[in-house]
């Protein structure tokens, strides 16, 4: 089975999901130690509470499936893990509530733009960059205006 690419894909996806989740937990633990104030890490904690049941569910489901009939029997732990993942999405408050907490905390760092377009609208950024680097752009234009293309030089 390890030689089958669709099995390999499930192994790769599971590894990435678990390791990404572990990093999120470690980063949040580091922030808790750093700030010593849970209010400053509410966003990160909510994100973990959203991510955990999904990683648990997805990896356990893949494991059950890859084990075939044995995987869905009570001789393996996977079916219990899948139902446990559903419990984890409710026991400390529903996933939806944690998502709302997360989104509200993220949005606290942003303010609406009073302009018609957002501040990161590309035409505006380009106009600002052209104004800021006007001298350099003029130098580059002058430089290339005075040069022949390699093809034209070869023909002469």
Judged by the rule CB under 6 A, the positions of this chain that interact with ligand FAD are 87, 90-94, 96-97, 100
Distance, CA of 129 to CA of 120 (rounded, Å): 12
Residue 95 beta carbon to ligand FAD: minimum distance, rounded to whole angstroms: 7
What are the percentages of helix, strand and coil residues in the chain, rounded to 5? 75, 0, 25
Query: Is the four-CA dihedral 25, 82, 79, 61 of positive or negative sign?
Result: negative
Contact by Cβ (8 Å): 71, 65:
yes
Residue 87 beta carbon to ligand FAD: minimum distance, rounded to whole angstroms: 5
Nearer to ligand FAD, 100 or 134 (CB): 100
Residue 53 beta carbon to ligand FAD: minimum distance, rounded to whole angstroms: 11
Nearer to ligand FAD, 4 or 103 (CB): 103
Residue 119 beta carbon to ligand FAD: minimum distance, rounded to whole angstroms: 31
Residue 43 beta carbon to ligand FAD: minimum distance, rounded to whole angstroms: 17
Nearer to ligand FAD, 54 or 67 (CB): 54
DSSP annotation string for 103-139: HHHHHTT----SSSS-TT-HHHHHHHHHHHTHHHHHH
Tokens of residue 134, six digits? 């006007």
Nearer to ligand FAD, 1 or 91 (CB): 91
Nearer to ligand FAD, 70 or 91 (CB): 91
């Amino acid at each position: 089975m390890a030689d089958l690419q669709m099995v390999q894909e499930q192994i790769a996806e599971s590894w990435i999901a678990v390791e990404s989740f572990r990093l999120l937990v470690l980063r949040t633990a580091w922030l808790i130690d750093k700030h010593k104030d849970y209010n400053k890490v509410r966003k990160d904690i909510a994100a973990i509470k959203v991510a955990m049941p999904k990683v648990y569910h997805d990896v356990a489901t893949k494991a059950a499936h890859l084990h075939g009939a044995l995987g869905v029997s009570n001789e393996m732990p996977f079916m219990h893990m899948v139902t446990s993942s559903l419990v984890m999405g409710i026991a400390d408050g529903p996933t939806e509530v944690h998502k709302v907490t997360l989104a509200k905390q993220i949005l606290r760092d942003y303010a609406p733009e009073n302009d018609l377009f957002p501040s990161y609208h590309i035409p505006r950024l380009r106009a600002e960059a052209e104004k800021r680097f006007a001298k350099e752009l003029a130098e580059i234009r002058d430089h290339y205006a005075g040069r022949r293309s390699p093809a034209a030089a070869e023909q002469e």
